[in-house]
Every structure is written in structure tokens, then in C-alpha cells.
Amino acid sequence: MKHFSILLILFCQVSVVIAQQLPELPQLYDKDFLTPQFHAGRRAALRELMPANTAVVVFANPERNRNNDTDFQYAQNPNFYYLTGYPEPNALLVITKDEVSAGTQKGTEFFFAQERDLRRESVTGRRLGKEGVTQELKIKNANLGKDFANFPLDFSRFDSVFYVLPEGVVNGRDPRNTAELYDLIEQVKAKTKNQKVLPRTFVSMMAQLRQQKLPEEMVLLRRAIDITGQGHREVMKFMDPEITEYQAQAVMEYTFKSYGSEYVGYGSIAGGAENSCILHYITNRRTLVDGDLFLTDCGAEYHGYTADITRTLPVNGKFSPEQKAIYELVLAAQEAGFAACQPNKPYRQVHQAAFKVVQEGLIRLGIATDSLTTRKYFMHGTAHSLGLDVHDAMVRTNDKNPAMGPLMLPNFVTTVEPGIYIPANSPCDPKWWNIGVRIEDDVLVTETGHEVLSLGSPRTVADIEQLMSEKSDFKKPPRRP
């Protein structure tokens, strides 16, 4: 115990020395992040949607513990990032519909940041502090989170307050995360306990903003999609019998990182043979063999925006007749889904168009007999919105015509991803068993139609087989023992 105490003291002393030596370098080395002007514009747009005499409170995401004293890499609450660009935890933003006074501060925006801490920054990285929020993010009324409890903003003046707790946070304190955020949550609850709190209204307002992408967002989203397409191309060239699912995943994610992606947008799906029939398979440990199909569903995240592309490959470089038949059926269904991506049309027509093609094809092949049996093999929707979240915010109602459902508006980005999955022991000819095919691309709905954004990665049988015949730049790893 004595030795441990001495080591702890030495560590603290060294940490202070290191902290004092840290130069004041920029936090963000990339120059293509969304600008403070973009985020300010989004806050102004939110105020336009807010009813009179209301306030919004938005929380940063908590840190997530992986195990013991090790956390996952931090990922910001997409709504908080969208409105502020702030990349750190333990913070909140208050937006008011109209200008209000709070002590010496006056305005419609009040930010509360985590405090600078040189010792911690020497271990986990630099913090903006309230000065950085003002200087870098251009938010005038910047404060520290520890000051929120006594901050003189009277919430009782508002008719309603809109806020949602961060994803995965339940009422009360969670001992797995830092106290700072949960103190802020409890303080917001206390300050608004007599007010009408309307979380669904906040979700709806943010969905209205985020579902139609601005040009600045599309620059980043296109970058994420291009990086992801390059990853799929590299996997196609690398693919070979006797490599493993995780080795193919490694090539994909190496490519993401080497082209500047900070994260994967979601857990990489890399499944061969029977695993290609599991929609969200992420174990990725099987060794691939000659004759397998390999389904890889992956997305690079770039500055918060994520792509989502799926390709299905023959491990030996050539589709068998059965694999080709299912693949080309899914491809035809996707083309029908693309054609249905039209502005101001019902979103559900994308799935309806793709499902119709799959049903007719499976009946023709003798695999299905009707829509019910088709759903055994095509059991998911064809499309979802895409942006800061892989399943991004969107308005899911249609007030003018509820029966029609949500509409696709110009500058809405969606996936189109039909699939057919025939696991072993399905009630069909065994020659179809363990064939799982999904083809997924990212599509921008335009003023006049649509644009497929992810065509940099081959989709047709001929193009895939041609690329798979090319030499990979990646050295084949040793065979699995």
C-alpha cells in the first residue's frame, strides 16, 4: 500500500509537470469541420420552430465506460453536435425563443461547458473551456457547468421547456458515468419541476431540421460515402478463400482510417455463408471457404456523418448460378427502389416497389408462393434515413395526409437496401440454402428526382467479378491456425 501511495503521488506530480508543458495547440487539426456559422444558423432555425415563450435544453452525451477505468472513444449527442459543434461531454445548451436576461448575460443562448483541468488534459486531451466555446465556437454566453445550479435564469417564466435526456440515460444517477452530467440533469429537473416538459416536441423539431441536409452537411456525408466505397473496393480485391471474416473487416476499417474517417458509423457486419443470412451479424470470426457468399455492411463516419453501404461477394470471385440468380433479383429490386425515390412522394413507396420485385422473383424461382412466404426471406424494410445517425432523425408523420405516411423531401438522404436471406433448412430446394444477399446504397432525393451517391463501389455481377480479379495491395495474412 505504501508503494502504491508513493507511485500515485509521483504520477500526480508528473501529470502536473506534463500539463504545464502542453502547448496551446488547436483542438481540431482538420480544417473541414462544420463552421460556427453553420451551427449558429441551426440554432436560429430551431428558434423559428419553437412556440412563443418556451425554452430548449440540450445535453451533451455522457462518457461510456467500456471496462474498469477504460472508456469508449467519446461520441457526441448528434443533436448537441448539430447545434453547437462542441466535441466534449459534461455540457448543456439552453436556447430561448426570445431574448432574456440572466444576471449580467443577455441573449437567446446560454452554454455550459466542462471546466479546464490541466492534469486531466495531460492524460485525455485538451478541453475548450468556456473561453474556447466563445473563441472557437463563437457562442457568446459561455459558462461552466458547475455554475448552472446558481445561474440566474428563471425557468418559471416559460410556458414550456423542451428537453430529452441523452440516449441510454435513465432518470436518476448512473454510477457508471461521471457525476458532472448527472448533476446537470438533476439541476435541470429541479429548475423545471413546475413547468410543462415536452420531450416529443423537441424530437419533432430536431427531426424537421435534420431530415433535409444543407450543402455543408452534404460535403461531409459525400466524403463518408466515398471513403466507404473505397473500403468496399479494397475488400473486393482482397477477398480470397481461407481468409477470415475479421481479416476482411480489417481491410475495410484500415481503409476507412487511412482516408481520414474517425470512427465506423456502426459495428461492421462481415458475414460469410450461413452468417450472410443474419441481418446484423458482427461476430466476424468465421474462416471463409471456396463457394461462400460474403456479405459486408459497413460505413465510415467522417466528422460526425456516417455512410451505410452493403455489398455481397462470391468468395472465390465468381457467382454460382444460384448465387447470381438471387443477386440479380435483389439488384433489380434495388433499381425499383431507386426509381421510387422522388421528392414529395410517400417514403413507404420505396419498400413497396422493392418488395414487389422480390416477391415476383421468388415466386418465379419456386422459393416463395405469396407475400407471406416472401417475408420469410425479405423480413426488413428497404430504406432508412441517413446522416449524423446511421438511422437518422426524420419526421415520421404526415399531418396533412396521415394515411400517406411521411414524405421524401428534397435534400433528404436515404438508404435503399433490399435483401434476400435463405438460411439452411428453409422450405425450399437446398441449392438455395445459405445464400444471403443485400445490396445497399445511399441516395439523395433532389428537387427533380434522386442521385445515387455510392456508385463508386461496383454493384453489378460483371463489375464485381472484374474488380475481384485485380490484385490487392494488401498482403494476404497467414492462414488461421
Q: With helix as H, strand as E and coil as C, how does 388-401 read? A: CCCCCCCCCCCCCC
Check residue 193 and give its pLDDT.
Answer: 87
Residue 2 pLDDT greater than 70, yes or no = no
What CA–CA distance (Å, rounded) separates 79 from 8? 39
Q: Which three cell numbers stand for residue 71?
A: 472508456
**List of residues 6+ apart from 305 with CB closer than 8 A:** 217, 220, 221, 223, 224, 387, 388
Q: Which three cell numbers stand for residue 40?
A: 449558429
Residue 12 pLDDT greater than 90, yes or no = no
* Residue of 378, 399, 387 lying closest to 213 (CA atoms): 387
Residue 306 pLDDT greater than 90, yes or no = yes
Q: Which three cell numbers stand for residue 135?
A: 473563441
Note the pLDDT tens digit of each residue in 33-65.
999 999 999 999 999 999 999 999 999 998 888
Residue 1 pLDDT greater than 60, yes or no = no
Residue 21 pLDDT greater than 70, yes or no = no
Lowest mean pLDDT among 7-11, 162-166, 201-205, 268-272: 7-11
The β-bridge relationship of strands 92-102 and 70-71 is unpaired
- Mutual angle of helices 215-238 and 245-258, in 10-degree steps: 140
* Residue of higher predicted confidence among 3 and 436: 436
How large is the average pLDDT for residues 343-362?
98
C-beta neighbour count of 67 within 10 angstroms: 7
Residue 32 pLDDT greater than 90, yes or no = yes
Lowest mean pLDDT among 12-21, 294-303, 415-424, 469-478: 12-21
The CB-side HSE value for 372 (13 A sphere, CA atoms) comes to 0
* Residue of 383, 401, 399 lying closest to 391 (CA atoms): 383
The CB-side HSE value for 360 (13 A sphere, CA atoms) comes to 9
Residue 273, sorted as left (phi over 0), alpha (psi -120 to 50) or beta, turns out to be left
The β-bridge relationship of strands 196-197 and 160-162 is parallel
Check residue 295 and give its pLDDT.
Answer: 99
Check residue 164 and give its pLDDT.
Answer: 87
The model's confidence at residue 25, banded by pLDDT at 50, 70 and 90, is low
- At 224, which amino acid appears? A
SS3 472: coil
Check residue 71 and give its pLDDT.
Answer: 87
Check residue 348 and give its pLDDT.
Answer: 97
What CA–CA distance (Å, rounded) separates 334 from 127? 45
How large is the average pLDDT for residues 379-400?
94
**List of residues 6+ apart from 402 with CB closer than 8 A:** none
Residue 114 pLDDT greater than 70, yes or no = yes
Instruction: Give the torsion sign (CA, 226, 231, 235, 238).
Output: positive
- At 266, which amino acid appears? Y
- At 28, which amino acid appears? L
Q: Which residue is listed with cell 408523420?
A: 397
**List of residues 6+ apart from 400 with CB closer than 8 A:** none
Q: Which residues are catalytic?
A: 69, 280, 297, 308, 380, 384, 391, 417, 421, 438, 440
Domains along the sequence of the chain with CATH: 22-209 (3.40.350.10), 212-468 (3.90.230.10)
Q: Which three cell numbers stand for residue 188?
A: 435541470
The model's confidence at residue 197, banded by pLDDT at 50, 70 and 90, is confident
**List of residues 6+ apart from 60 with CB closer than 8 A:** 76, 77, 80, 86, 88, 89, 90, 91, 92, 166, 181
Residue 13 pLDDT greater than 60, yes or no = no
Q: Which residue is listed with cell 438511422?
A: 391
In the structure, how many helices (H) and strands (E) does the chain have? 13, 21
What CA–CA distance (Å, rounded) separates 163 from 161? 7
